[in-house]
Structure 1
Amino acid sequence: MKSIVLNTALEDKIAITELDVPTLEADEVLVKIHAAALNHRDEWCRQGLYPGLKDGVVLGSDGAGVISKVGKDVDESNIGKEVIINPAMNWGDNQAVQSKDFTILGMPENGTLAEFVKVKFDRIHPKPTSLTWEEAAALPLGGLTAYRAVMVQGKLQNGEKVLVTGFGGGVAQFAAQYALATGATVYVSSSSEEKLGAARKLGAKGGFNYKKEDWFKEALELTGGFDLVIDSAMGDTLGNLIKVTKPGGRIVFYGATKGNPPELDARKVFWSQIHLIGSTMGSDKDFGKMLEFVEENRIRPVIDQVFNADDAVAAFDRMKSGQQLGKIVISFNR
């Protein structure tokens, strides 16, 4: 089967190669992948910036396809069903936080960037009927991460004002869509005027170019501050996020791509009773709720570009460039 694997000995750090179709354990199913989507973690693996890297592992966490084979403990009536895959594994029983055994499909275990992938049957969910294969493939990791950040950790309510930073990436795109569907007034930030314009077309009230030194002053003057801020950068951006958060507001961050904040205005945080909340992917319960929310609100993932599997290097380079607007998808069906 055609597979896209990590190979750090190569200049591109990934290889398109042929692997054997996986054999199944009793509680597993084999999914013939129609489409898979990239996440930043895939590019971080390619750059050697992810823990526990192993050459030869099939990358990819997002995928949608058809069940082609089942293990002996899985009912054969599932063969032929159209499904998407929950890539979050071993969350555990505590809804508040993942277990120490939590992992994500695609490293260190083989992921979705292949013609076939084997997963536990409990990782499988029906493909939303309203979505194309490419849209369904784009949903799992980013959609789940955004749902937990906005709805579970952020506890967003109708009528609140929300700022989603770094609009253009998959999670931020979903966060904005979920907030809009909830009835919030949504603003975004980006360094790209094109992406700010795209957010407005999606329904955002406005946007701010975070490259402008005083963008936070513009935001405060225009909005009066935000009830909820969704962020993945942290670093030296946190100070300005605190400034634009209303007293009693929440800042939920699901990443720290700019590293740890160099300083924290602790007095502003405690006096304004601002909540700083960490978030990551989500539980199995969150995944089910996310799918229901997407179906009920007819949310369609924004697709940046679809590549053939043979053009995987170009797809990864697109991710690396940071120019994408929405999800980058790799098709195994073209």
Structure 2
Amino acid sequence: MKAIFLEAIGKPFTLIDKEKPTAGPGEALVQVKAAALNHRDVWIQHGRYFTKEYPAILGSDCAGIVAEIGEGVDETWLGQEVIVDPSSDWGENPRAQSRQFKVLGMPEDGSFAEYVKVRAENLHQKPGHLSFEEAAALPLGGVTAYRAMFTKCNLAEGERVLVTGAGGGVALFAIQFAVAAGAEVWVTSGTDEKIGLAKDMGAKGGVNYKHENWGKELKALAGGFDVIIDSAGGEGFVQLVKLANPGGRIAIYGGTTGMIGQLNPAELFWKQLSIHGSTMGTASDFAQMVKLVDEKEIRPVVDIVYPLEETEAAMRYMEAGKQFGKIIVKVGE
């Protein structure tokens, strides 16, 4: 089979021929039709991920067709169109992942290949309204947004939500999920164009975080927020605390702008705020996320599709940060 190979830290992704894996007991072999990039893949290429086991076949997100099953797996899975939950070994505590928790694509061979071997318990039927490319965009970004929004922040219909950094995959899922849940959604972004695209998705409005007084600007437009979903951290997080309503919940799943600035404790305790760290999700989170996408017929936003052999170019496109939505590699016809 053809696969994308990363030899070592700092090396480019290359196309190789590799022996097709075989499904063992409790496993399934998925013929990959499309896979999606995550920033995790770029971090691994640069040696900035906590796991460092090279050489490797990366890729966490994928959609495809079950081509082979191992002993003990329900035969009805054969030939089914599926998406794969890329996470395993979360552990017994639903509040936080165990030390054994891992994600497909390192240390195990991932989805940037014509076939990927996974645990059968991680298979989910692909929602019928989605293409393979759309379905491949869903797993890590979708479950991260779902857990932050619903499991951690317990979003309710009619509440006002702020999603920072509109343009990234998780942020766009957060916008779509919140709109589908009946919330009033606002965004921040680094370009007015992306704010406009977010409004096309159902957001009520937004502000450019490059403006000097973006927090005051947003406060004047929207008032306060019941739920805030953030990927940036940094000095801007102080503004998010100011923007939170009494009883508000803030979930942070990334830290692209670095260390959080000085917070006034009184703003936290007097407003009874809750700040939640969140990353990825449990098997239950994933199943509930797929159910929401299926029932509400949500379509993931796909920015661009590359052929498998151009995965290195796709990585550089992601690193440039210009995308609005997910970057996909098309593997099979």
Counterpart residue number, 2:178: 179
Q: Which moved more, 1:51-60 or 1:33-42?
A: 51-60
Counterpart residue number, 1:129: 128
Amino acid at match of 1:310: E
1:104 is the counterpart of 2:96:
no
For residues 59 and 128 of structure 1, the distance between their equivalents in structure 2, rounded to whole angstroms, comes to 25
For residues 312 and 158 of structure 1, the distance between their equivalents in structure 2, rounded to whole angstroms, comes to 40
1:69 is the counterpart of 2:68:
yes
Deviations 1:248-269 (A, max 9, x none): 1111111222232132222211
How many Å apart are 1:314 and its aligned residue?
1.2
Q: Equivalent residue of 2:185, what SS?
A: strand
Deviations 1:189-218 (A, max 9, x none): 010111111001111100110011101101
For residues 167 and 194 of structure 2, the distance between their equivalents in structure 1, rounded to whole angstroms, comes to 6
Pair 1:103–1:158, CA change in 2 (3 A)? same
Q: Equivalent residue of 1:23, what SS?
A: coil
Moved segments of 4+, more than 4 Å: none
For residues 176 and 136 of structure 2, the distance between their equivalents in structure 1, rounded to whole angstroms, comes to 17
How many Å apart are 1:107 and its aligned residue?
1.4
1:59 is the counterpart of 2:58:
yes
For residues 288 and 203 of structure 1, the distance between their equivalents in structure 2, rounded to whole angstroms, comes to 24
Q: Equivalent residue of 1:257, what SS?
A: coil
Pair 1:210–1:18, CA change in 2 (3 A)? same
The answer (yes or no) to whether the contact 1:6–1:54 under 8 Å persists in 2 is: no
How many Å apart are 1:64 and its aligned residue?
0.5
Counterpart residue number, 1:8: 8
Amino acid at match of 1:145: T
For residues 138 and 232 of structure 2, the distance between their equivalents in structure 1, rounded to whole angstroms, comes to 21
Counterpart residue number, 2:155: 156
For residues 10 and 283 of structure 2, the distance between their equivalents in structure 1, rounded to whole angstroms, comes to 37
Counterpart residue number, 2:164: 165
Structure 1: state its 5+ residue gaps.
none
Q: In angstroms, what is the RMSD of aligned CA positions?
A: 1.3
Using the size of structure 2 for normalisation, the TM-score is 0.97
For residues 273 and 226 of structure 2, the distance between their equivalents in structure 1, rounded to whole angstroms, comes to 10
- Residue pairs, 1:205-224, within 5 angstroms: 205-224=204-223
Structure 2: state its 5+ residue gaps.
none
Amino acid at match of 2:273: I
Aligned length: 333
Q: Equivalent residue of 1:300, what SS?
A: coil
1:325 is the counterpart of 2:324:
yes
Amino acid at match of 2:3: S
For residues 179 and 213 of structure 1, the distance between their equivalents in structure 2, rounded to whole angstroms, comes to 27
The answer (yes or no) to whether the contact 2:14–2:309 under 8 Å persists in 1 is: no
Pair 1:24–1:210, CA change in 2 (3 A)? same
How many Å apart are 1:11 and its aligned residue?
4.6
How many Å apart are 1:10 and its aligned residue?
6.0
Deviations 1:286-332 (A, max 9, x none): 11111111111110000000000111111111110000000000001
Amino acid at match of 1:72: E
Aligned-residue sequence identity (percent) comes to: 48
Q: Equivalent residue of 1:269, what SS?
A: helix
Q: Equivalent residue of 1:235, what SS?
A: coil
1:229 is the counterpart of 2:222:
no
Counterpart residue number, 1:242: 241
The answer (yes or no) to whether the contact 1:5–1:55 under 8 Å persists in 2 is: no
Q: Equivalent residue of 1:167, what SS?
A: coil
Pair 1:4–1:271, CA change in 2 (3 A)? same
The answer (yes or no) to whether the contact 1:303–1:327 under 8 Å persists in 2 is: yes
For residues 78 and 248 of structure 1, the distance between their equivalents in structure 2, rounded to whole angstroms, comes to 45
